[in-house]
């Protein structure tokens, strides 16, 4: 099949070399039974490539199933993929076949493969190497004949270096890699895709197709499209439905383009994002820096109390001078401090109640405070769940983690929703 016929059959729009190379690779590998790893950002259309490979293979008349590994809770994913026996766990009232059993002879597409738990990764590796699997709660080895196509929007090689993904499984999956380009890497295709979408929506909603002027086309092409083709399609649908005019200028288009905000997770200035690829590493860094700042403040108080030379330089340094020195660090608003007469062992911090400096403070270098990472992580999860009224999907988005990871954390910390 020539390339243009392939694009027409699967409604693929675009002519960039990167896209053409990915399509040629998919067509060539389809006739084999090799495992394929499709890599690309979210929204680029990785599932379409899996359908192309299956449709052009000798398995095209057999089942095809797409599984989102990130959407299945860790406690049930083994059962979903490999099945389970009756009574193997709470709620297993009957035996159940897994996908590798029901799709035998066909193709299984494992999307977000990087979200698989390590235990499930070991089971998957055995299927890929020997074609064998064991149901949960069983000791009987069963055979399957399934072609595996995996996809990820992460760099799995980095996950292997951090111990989050098995290196042997990575190289077993990466037999034939296909990298699907992002929309910003195929800018010349953006106007073509947009035109195709608005024509489709005009037909669907019985309206006139919209048109962009030249300035609007330039803005459309210059936009970063972090959501790739999926985001472009959503914008095309919004404009088709909500626009009052069928001719759109740059100002009108700009009103539909989202203003993407930065990551909501805490970020340490000057630190490369790559060093903290997951939420726990970010929390570790944040809390360790907080503890360091607290310890530096305590040391400064102790030095002032212990060093007699400081009292010679300023008669009231333990009170007024400390306040003046701490204003910028403790009170960003530089709120004025009330001139209140206080005992010699107290001082007034900005926007705070008077603090009594105990004479025994010199003997205490540490304050009893909870800087436990797990406590803080649990506290953040509870706040997110409360904020979004128990909606896990919204809470996980706010926390910057996957819904499956949030589900696992809720079980780990025994959080009652």
| 229/137 same-domain check | no
Q: What is the CATH number of the domain that holds 98?
A: 3.40.50.300
| Average pLDDT value for residue range 283-294 | 66
| 353/323 same-domain check | yes
Main-chain dihedrals φ then ψ at residue 356, nearest 5 degrees:
-90, 125
Answer whether residue 127 is part of any domain: yes
Answer whether residue 208 shows pLDDT above 50: yes
| 324/378 same-domain check | no
| 308/384 same-domain check | no
Q: Cα 121 from chain centroid?
A: 20
Pair of tokens at residue 277:
């690829």
Distance CA 64, CA 70 (A): 19
Decide which of 256, 271, 301 is a domain's last residue: 256
pLDDT digits (tens, 9 = 90+) for 226-278: 999 999 999 999 999 998 888 999 999 999 998 754 344 444 334 444 434 45
Which of 49-53, 72-76, 88-92, 268-272 tops mean pLDDT? 49-53
Answer whether residue 210 shows pLDDT above 60: yes
Answer whether residue 352 is part of any domain: yes
Q: What share of the chain is helix, strand, coil (3-state, %, to 5)?
A: 50, 10, 40
| 175/189 same-domain check | no
E strands, 279-380, in order:
346-347, 355-356
Question: Residue 402: pLDDT band by 50, 70, 90 thresholds?
Answer: confident
Answer whether residue 275 is part of any domain: no
pLDDT for the residue numbered 283: 63
Answer whether residue 331 is part of any domain: yes
Answer whether residue 394 shows pLDDT above 90: no
Answer whether residue 269 is part of any domain: no
Distance CA 129, CA 114 (A): 19
pLDDT for the residue numbered 290: 72
Which range of residues forms the domain containing residue 389? Answer: 372-412
Answer whether residue 393 is part of any domain: yes
| 198/318 same-domain check | no
pLDDT for the residue numbered 339: 46
Answer whether residue 371 shows pLDDT above 80: no
Closest among 311, 333, 332, 308 to 322, alpha carbons compared: 311
Q: What is the CATH number of the domain that holds 224?
A: 1.10.8.60
CA-to-CA separations, 300 to 177, 307, 310, 326, in angstroms, rounded? 57, 11, 12, 10
Answer whether residue 367 shows pLDDT above 70: no
Length of the chain: 417
Main-chain dihedrals φ then ψ at residue 257, nearest 5 degrees:
-75, 130
| 173/66 same-domain check | yes
Question: What residues does 67 pair with on adjacent strands?
Answer: 110
Q: How many domains, in total, are found in the chain?
A: 4
| 45/146 same-domain check | yes
pLDDT for the residue numbered 261: 43
Answer whether residue 408 is part of any domain: yes
Answer whether residue 10 shows pLDDT above 60: yes
| 66/211 same-domain check | no
Question: Residue 365: pLDDT band by 50, 70, 90 thresholds?
Answer: very low
| 110/244 same-domain check | no
* Averaged confidence pLDDT in the chain: 81
Answer whether residue 18 is part of any domain: yes
| 170/229 same-domain check | no
| 52/129 same-domain check | yes
Q: What is the CATH number of the domain that holds 406?
A: 1.10.10
Which of 88-102, 289-303, 350-364 tops mean pLDDT? 88-102
């Amino acid at each position: 099949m020539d390339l243009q016929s392939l694009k027409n059959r699967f409604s693929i729009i675009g002519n960039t070399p990167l896209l053409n190379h990915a399509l040629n690779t998919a067509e060539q590998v389809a006739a084999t039974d090799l495992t394929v790893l499709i890599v690309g950002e979210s929204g680029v259309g990785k599932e379409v490539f899996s359908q192309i490979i299956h449709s052009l293979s000798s398995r095209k008349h057999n089942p095809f199933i797409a599984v989102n590994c990130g959407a299945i809770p860790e406690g049930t994913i083994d059962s979903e993929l490999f099945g389970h026996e009756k009574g193997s766990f709470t709620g297993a009232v009957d035996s159940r076949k897994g996908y590798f059993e029901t799709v035998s002879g066909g193709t299984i597409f494992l999307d977000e493969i990087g979200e698989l738990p390590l235990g499930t990764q070991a089971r998957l590796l055995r299927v890929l190497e020997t074609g064998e699997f064991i149901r949960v709660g069983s000791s009987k080895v069963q055979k399957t004949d399934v072609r595996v196509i995996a996809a990820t929007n992460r760099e799995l090689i980095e996950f292997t270096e951090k111990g989050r993904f098995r290196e042997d499984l990575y190289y077993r999956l990466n037999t034939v890699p296909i990298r699907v380009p992002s929309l910003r890497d195929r800018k010349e295709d953006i106007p073509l895709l947009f035109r195709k979408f608005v024509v489709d929506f005009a037909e669907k909603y019985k309206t006139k197709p919209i048109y962009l002027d030249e300035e609007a086309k330039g803005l459309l092409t210059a936009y970063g499209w972090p959501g790739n083709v999926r985001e472009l399609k959503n914008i095309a649908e919004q404009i088709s439905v909500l626009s009052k005019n069928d001719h759109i200028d740059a100002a009108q288009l700009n009103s539909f383009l989202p203003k993407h905000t930065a990551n909501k997770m805490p970020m340490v200035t000057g630190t490369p994002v790559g060093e903290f690829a997951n939420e726990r590493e970010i929390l570790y860094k944040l809390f360790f820096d907080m503890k360091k700042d607290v310890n530096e403040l305590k040391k400064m108080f102790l030095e002032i109390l212990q060093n007699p030379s400081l009292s010679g330089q300023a008669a009231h340094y333990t009170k007024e001078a400390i306040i003046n020195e701490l204003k910028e660090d403790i009170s960003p608003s530089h709120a004025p401090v009330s001139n209140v007469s206080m005992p010699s062992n107290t001082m007034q911090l900005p926007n705070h109640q008077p603090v009594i400096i105990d004479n025994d403070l010199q003997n205490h270098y540490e304050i009893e405070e909870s800087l436990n990472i797990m406590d803080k992580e649990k506290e953040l999860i509870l706040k997110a769940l409360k904020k979004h009224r128990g909606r896990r999907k919204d809470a996980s988005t706010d926390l910057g983690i996957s819904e499956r990871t949030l589900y696992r954390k809720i079980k780990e910390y025994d959080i009652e929703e």
